[in-house]
Amino acid sequence: MKEVNFDAIYEHTSTKYGDYTGVIQVDMNESVLAVRELCKNHNIDLGDKFVIGIGFDYDNSMGSVTIYTINSEIYGTTYNSVRDKIAEIGLTVQKKLVWMSIIELMKYIKRMAFLVTSDLLANVESFKIESKERFDL
């Protein structure tokens, strides 16, 4: 798993009750190009923006996808230049919101895995999973 500062992400992620909290990893179809395609299909012009993340909020049948971007004129256009500039000046992010169903969102995602747990694991450093048996719901 890639190194990520989860504390920086948690402050921007919440549900009404927060019954479960966890981690998600996503592989987009065609990587960042899928996010650009999503924006193009919803008439969002990213222009000189560098995409650094996406979010999804879901409530009943509809959801909102949030595209998190930074200004390429300030941060650069390559991974290394963006990383170096963030270390130098910090991070200011812009966001754009698109309403869509989770089914539509999945058109842009190749693979997704997530695990959420209750707060009972708050003081657990690691845990074993005894079985990987599959069962049908």
What does the pLDDT look like over 37-78, one tens digit per residue? 888 999 988 888 988 888 888 877 778 888 999 999 999 988
Q: With cut-offs at 50, 70 and 90, classify the pLDDT of residue 137.
A: low
Locus of tokens 């479960």: 20
| Global confidence as pTM | 0.77
Say if residue 1's pLDDT is above 60: no
Question: First vs last Cα of the chain: how many Å apart?
Answer: 29
Handedness of CA 71, 73, 78, 80 (dihedral sign): negative
